[in-house]
């Protein structure tokens, strides 16, 4: 069984600390409480935390601790939660590097709602980089299939593996094939040599097919967390849908650049799709761009839209699960990666700095021309 999730809390407000301790305890998240920045930075250099929660009343102190978090190798992927006094401090908190915000005065119910998404991402980030000790036979296919080598794994993760060094040198890139214990299908994907150590070599997976990736995630999750491998999906309501994007109403939206797995169902029609958060309004909702802009996907989305149009009043069942916060160059770019003439996507690009109320007003304007622009209100 995996060890307990851990959060570092920097705050000297007793009321805030009491609420957070109660919420985090109910969510089975351990808390290391610090009242000054020096103690927090020191802990960040010595311990691993899945989340860092910082009272941003003094921005300089918050900035120092967040920089310390990103510079600590064990904590650079930690989820950052900022506690702020007002809506006016929201932009500054995100500029400091916060993924989530909590507004003062802290309420128990609102904090619980926010931390459902925080915990889901904490678990995903830990599991994504966790390594399962296991010995598996691996076939390494080189030279476009002209030859193969065989290795035995030392450990396995979602993004790669370590193998025992063999007598033949591995090329820079190759294909890997291996079978997971008690699993029917074979794992096969491109890979590359990532590092070499004492009798061990690191292999990084590349361009993993979606189904293969999901099988690997589920298997590793079961090894790490038993029956608790899957976090319950976050509750969301679909309010706007186009060929390339959707807007989801939720009290606990995920941060910008979070990659999501979405499953939408209405009547007997099911739509599974991947997306990335482009706009996030704390306590209100998030705008998600679909990340596989193929013609077949657009056909499926169009069919889903048409089904909703033909079933007036139908409320889609929606499940949303996070994958990771993507810091790659395409994710950091504001340029849409799917349908360029999509009005909903355009709003994500042009309205990113609008307040939640202003953004909702723009959505309502779009809904007034939904038939012409293929934006659907649910």
Answer yes or no: are the C-beta atoms of 290 and 273 closer than 8 Å. Answer: yes
What does the pLDDT read at residue 43?
95
CA distances to 150, 154, 162, 165 from 168, rounded to whole Å, are 9, 17, 16, 8
In this predicted model, which residue has the larger pLDDT, 146 or 238? 238
pLDDT tens track for 87-96: 889 989 999 9
Q: Which tens digit of pLDDT belongs to each residue from 288-331?
A: 999 876 777 788 888 888 888 888 777 888 989 898 898 776 66
Q: pLDDT tens-digit profile of 85-119?
A: 988 899 899 999 999 999 999 999 999 988 989 99
Q: What is the dihedral of CA 80, 85, 89, 91, to 10 degrees?
A: 40
Residues in Cβ contact with 253 at an 8 Å cutoff, skipping those fewer than 6 apart: 117, 277, 280, 281, 282, 283, 284, 285, 286
- Report whether pLDDT(176) > 80: yes
Which pLDDT does position 17 carry in this prediction? 96
Binned at pLDDT 50, 70 and 90, residue 370 comes out as: very low
Which pLDDT belongs to residue 93?
A: 92
* Per-residue pLDDT at 34: 94
User: Residue 334 has what pLDDT?
Assistant: 61
Domains plus CATH for the chain?
5-129 (3.40.50.2300), 132-227 (2.40.10.220), 237-377 (2.40.10)
pLDDT(31) > 90: yes
Report how far residue 5's alpha carbon sits from residue 26's, in angstroms, rounded to the nearest whole number.
12
Report pTM.
Answer: 0.77
Note the pLDDT of residue 338. Answer: 55
pLDDT band at 373 (very low <50, low <70, confident <90, very high): very low
Q: Given pLDDT bands bounded at 50, 70 and 90, which one contains residue 227?
A: very low
By three-state DSSP, how is residue 257 classified?
coil
Statement: residue 375 has pLDDT above 60? no
pLDDT at 129 over 80: no
Please, what's the b/e burial string for 312-340 (b: 16 or more CB within 10 A of its CB; e: otherwise)? eeeebebebbbbbbbeeeebeeeebbbbe
Nearest residue to 241 via CA among 298, 294, 296, 292: 298
Percentage with pLDDT > 70 across the chain: 91
What is d(CA 115, CA 9) in angstroms, rounded to the nearest whole number? 14
Given a cut of 90, whether residue 51 has pLDDT beyond it is yes
Confidence tier at 123 by pLDDT (50, 70, 90): confident
**Interval 194-214 mean pLDDT:** 88
Q: Which pairs from 110-115 meet CB under 8 Å and 24+ separation? A: 110/251, 110/283, 111/19, 111/20, 111/23, 112/23, 112/26, 112/27, 113/251, 113/252, 113/283, 114/81, 114/251, 114/252, 114/282, 114/283, 115/23, 115/24, 115/27, 115/29, 115/252
Q: What is the mean pLDDT of the chain?
A: 86
* Segment 268-292 mean pLDDT: 91
pLDDT of residue 341: 80
Q: Which residue has the tokens 């021309």?
A: 369
Residue 374 has pLDDT above 70, yes or no: no
Q: How many angstroms separate the Cα of 11 from the Cα of each of 31, 55, 190? A: 12, 5, 46
* Mean pLDDT value of segment 254-278: 90
The reported pLDDT for the residue numbered 310 is 84
Q: How confident is the model at residue 337 (pLDDT cuts 50, 70, 90)?
A: low
364, two tokens: 């309502």
């Amino acid at each position: 069984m995996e060890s307990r999730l851990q959060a570092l809390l920097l705050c000297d407000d007793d009321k805030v600390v009491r609420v957070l301790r109660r919420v985090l305890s109910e969510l089975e998240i351990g808390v290391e409480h610090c009242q000054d920045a020096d103690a927090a930075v020191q802990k960040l250099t010595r311990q691993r935390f899945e989340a860092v929660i910082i009272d941003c009343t003094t921005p300089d102190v918050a900035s120092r601790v967040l920089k310390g978090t990103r510079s600590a190798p064990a904590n650079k992927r930690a989820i950052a939660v900022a506690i702020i006094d007002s809506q006016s401090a929201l932009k500054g908190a995100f500029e400091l590097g916060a993924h989530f915000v909590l507004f003062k005065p802290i309420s128990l119910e609102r904090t619980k709602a926010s931390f459902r998404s925080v915990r889901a991402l904490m678990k995903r980030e830990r599991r994504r980089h966790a390594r399962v000790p296991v010995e598996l036979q691996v076939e390494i296919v080189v030279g476009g299939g002209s030859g193969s080598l065989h290795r035995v794994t030392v450990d396995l993760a979602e993004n790669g593996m370590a193998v025992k060094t063999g007598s033949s040198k591995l090329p820079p890139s190759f294909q890997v094939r291996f079978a997971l214990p008690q699993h029917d299908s074979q794992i096969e994907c491109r890979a590359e040599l990532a590092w070499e150590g004492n009798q061990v070599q690191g292999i990084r997976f590349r361009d993993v097919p979606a189904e293969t990736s999901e099988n690997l995630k589920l298997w590793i999750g079961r090894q790490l967390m038993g029956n608790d491998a899957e976090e319950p999906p976050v509750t969301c309501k679909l309010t706007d849908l186009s060929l390339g994007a959707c807007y989801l109403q939720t009290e606990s939206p995920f941060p910008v650049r979070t990659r999501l797995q979405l499953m939408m169902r209405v009547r007997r029609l099911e739509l599974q799709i991947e997306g990335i958060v482009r706009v996030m309004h704390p306590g209100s909702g998030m705008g998600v761009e679909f990340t596989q802009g193929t013609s077949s996907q657009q056909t499926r989305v169009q069919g889903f839209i048409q089904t909703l149009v033909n079933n007036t009043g139908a409320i889609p069942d929606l499940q949303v699960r996070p994958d990771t916060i993507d810091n790659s160059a395409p994710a950091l770019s504001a340029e849409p990666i799917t349908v360029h003439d999509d009005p909903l996507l355009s709003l994500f690009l042009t309205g990113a700095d609008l307040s939640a109320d202003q953004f909702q007003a723009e959505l309502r304007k779009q809904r007034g021309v939904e038939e012409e622009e293929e934006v659907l209100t649910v």
